[in-house]
Structure formats: C-alpha cells, structure tokens
C-alpha cells in the first residue's frame, strides 16, 4: 500500500520540491458544499417504487435473466452509457457537480428514463440527486453540490437509469484540466483492473476470480483495493443479492453462469483502502484523504464470455467505453 509523503519529504511528482511546497494542497480534504433542492421527474416517466419516498421493493430476482430482460437491459445500459459519455463535453475546471447533476438529469428525462439514484433509500435521508459525483478522495456516492471542480481534480461520475422496468449502471473517472502523473497512473491502473476483472468473468469460473484478478493487478502497482463496497447483481432491481467483491474473497465460490448480469466496479486507491462515512450517510472517503478512482460496467455472461451492456452507440471520442481513462 502506498504511503503519502510527509510535509518535508521530496514530493512524489518528481519536481524535486518538498511535498509541502508542491502537491500537499492537492491532498486537502474535500468539503461538502450547498445541495440544491430535488429535481422533478415528469409523471409520464415510469418510476421505481422509491421515487415517491416508498421503500425499495425486494424480491428473489433470478441471477440468470430471461431473454426479454436481457434485451431490455441492452437498451437501457446503452443509453446510460450514452449519458455518461456525453459528460466529457461539460466536465472542466469551474463546473460544479450540481451542474453535472442537472445535465445528466435532463438527459435521462429526454431518454424517457428515471435516474435510479434519485430518492433511493439509505443514510439518514434518501439520496437527493440523479447521479453520484465522487471527487478526489471520495470513494463513491458523492452528492452533487455547488463546489466548482478545480484544475487537477479527478471526478467519478456514476450513472444509473431505470427504463422498460430494468436498470443500466455504469461509471467512469474523468480528468479535470491538467492532472498530475500519479493521478493519471491511478486512473489507468483502475481502468486496467476493471478490464481484468471483466475478463475473469467467464462461465464456470467462481465469482472470486474477478476480485483475484483485480486485487493482484492493483497491488502489483502498489495501489489499494476498497473492500467496503462491491459490485452487484442488477436487472429489474437496482441491486440484487449477488455480490461481486473486487478483492479475493475465499468464500465467494458461486459459479458464474451464462445469463447472469452484474456490475464490475473496482475502487482503487493511492493510499489506505479503508473508508469512513460523512455525516450525510452516503459519501464515503478514504481515511487518509488519498485519491481514489473507479470504472464500472454492467456485464452479461454469454457462452463466449462477458458482454458489456454499457457501451454507447457512438464510440467516437469516448475512449472510456473501452475502459480507457476518461478524457485521456
């Protein structure tokens, strides 16, 4: 696990300067800004049960999906990816995560879909926004607010939409302006961890083969793997009981079967992989304020191996769809 330098140590970036006079300020903790009121969703949009403040409707959804569910998930996953890809047009220094939320919310509505995170139960209150924006040391579930993105930040944007009775879930980490080399390396290693985890999702393999592939690559590059949050089964429910750890878990020996649909979404850290929660009950950050990156795809297991369901229609100009670093 990487240990961040002390104030008088030579900075890790290669400048030759002391850490305190170079990149120390880039490790200042993110502070939550003002959170704007809920955005409305038209009555014409089909909504999940929690949209009106009700609880999540849980049932024993099969891990192996029917052909009908799979086709609906292909369409929904593609459009979730289309929204995510379009964020590269607006992410830049000075843009607030609130503006990103407004943009993605409107895109979801234009596509006739409901933004799945909106009003999702958890924490002291339901999630108040239409996507998660996790900046720098925020591991996941960051709530969009009025903090402007700064040059050198990295931001993960997590998009899930609900349409045709199913969910499509995907995310990517974007560079904001000029990002230091170590943060770029973190994003690239995370991209490759995601690719290796997906490649390990072959029918007949145990589910823990996914986490083993991810952990071995991340730790070989001296990065940490978050344990507190995992990938999950998905379909007509946002989250099913199927859990996909991104580290090797010896008891996760369930066999991967043709027709399964789940997410692979490793969270990789520069330093300590342990998490702590903000008082909002949603935002998870690294305990040492070290940066973290994430990529996510919803995948279907076929006889030939994993099929990514969250690929945009227009791949031009969106290198992230092939799991490349966003805006690279």
Question: Does some domain include residue 131?
Answer: yes
Domain count, the chain: 1
Question: Does some domain include residue 31?
Answer: no
**What is the structure's pLDDT at 20?**
43
**What is the structure's pLDDT at 28?**
74
Neighbours of 156 (CB within 10 A): 27
Q: Which of 151, 158, 153 is nearest to 265 (CA)?
A: 158
Residues of the chain above pLDDT 70, percent: 87
Question: Does some domain include residue 35?
Answer: no
Instruction: Kindly report, residue by residue over 98-141, the tens digit of the pLDDT.
Output: 999 999 999 999 999 999 999 999 989 999 999 999 999 999 99
d(CA 7, CA 316): 43
Question: Does some domain include residue 1?
Answer: no
pLDDT at 220 over 60: yes
Average pLDDT over residues 192-211: 97
pLDDT at 5 over 90: no
Mean pLDDT of the chain: 91
Question: Does some domain include residue 188?
Answer: yes
Q: Which residue has the tokens 């003002």?
A: 34
Average pLDDT over residues 4-9: 60
Question: Does some domain include residue 21?
Answer: no
Exposed / middle / buried, residue 280 (Cβ in 10 Å: 0-12, 13-18, 19+): middle
Give the range among 8-22, 70-84, 247-261 with minimum mean pLDDT.
8-22
pLDDT at 324 over 50: no
CATH, residue 101: 3.90.230.10
Binning pLDDT at 50, 70 and 90, where does residue 323 land?
A: very low
Range of the domain at 237: 47-52+60-311
Residues of the chain above pLDDT 90, percent: 84
- For residues 12 and 81, the model is more confident at 81
Q: How far is CA 300 from CA 57, 70, 164, 259, 264, in A?
A: 23, 8, 17, 6, 11
Question: Does some domain include residue 6?
Answer: no
Question: Does some domain include residue 5?
Answer: no
**What is the structure's pLDDT at 328?**
29
Question: What value, to the nearest 5°, has the Cα angle with vertex 251 and ends 246 and 256?
Answer: 65
> What are the tokens at 194?
């995601």
């Amino acid at each position: 696990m990487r240990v961040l330098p002390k104030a008088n140590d030579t900075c890790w970036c290669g400048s030759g300067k002391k850490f305190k006079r170079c990149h120390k300020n880039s490790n200042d903790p993110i502070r939550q800004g003002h959170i704007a009121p809920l955005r409305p969703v038209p009555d014409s949009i089909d909504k999940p049960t929690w949209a009106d403040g009700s609880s999540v409707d849980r049932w024993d959804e099969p891990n192996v999906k029917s052909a009908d569910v799979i086709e609906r998930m292909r369409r929904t996953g593609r459009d979730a990816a289309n929204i995510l890809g379009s964020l590269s047009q607006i992410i830049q220094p000075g843009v607030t995560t609130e503006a990103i939320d407004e943009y993605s919310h409107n895109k979801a509505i234009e596509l006739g879909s409901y933004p799945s995170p909106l009003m999702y139960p958890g924490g002291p209150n339901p999630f108040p926004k239409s996507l998660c924006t996790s900046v720098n040391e925020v591991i996941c579930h960051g709530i969009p607010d009025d903090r402007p993105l700064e040059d050198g930040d990295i931001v993960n944007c997590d998009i899930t939409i609900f349409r045709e009775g199913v969910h499509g879930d995907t995310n990517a980490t974007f560079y904001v302006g000029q990002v230091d080399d170590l943060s770029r390396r973190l994003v690239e290693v995370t991209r490759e961890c995601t690719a290796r985890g997906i490649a390990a999702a072959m029918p007949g393999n145990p589910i823990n083969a996914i986490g083993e592939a991810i952990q071995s690559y991340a730790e070989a590059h001296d990065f940490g793997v978050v344990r507190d949050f995992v990938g999950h089964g998905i379909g007509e429910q946002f989250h099913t009981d199927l859990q996909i750890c991104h580290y090797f878990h010896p008891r996760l020996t369930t066999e991967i079967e043709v027709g399964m649909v789940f997410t692979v979404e490793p969270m990789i850290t520069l330093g300590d992989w342990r998490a702590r929660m903000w008082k909002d009950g949603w935002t998870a950050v690294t305990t040492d304020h070290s940066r973290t990156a994430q990529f996510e795809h919803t995948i279907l297991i076929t006889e030939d191996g994993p099929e990514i369901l969250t690929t945009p229609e227009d791949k031009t100009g969106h290198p992230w769809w092939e799991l490349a670093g966003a805006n690279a």
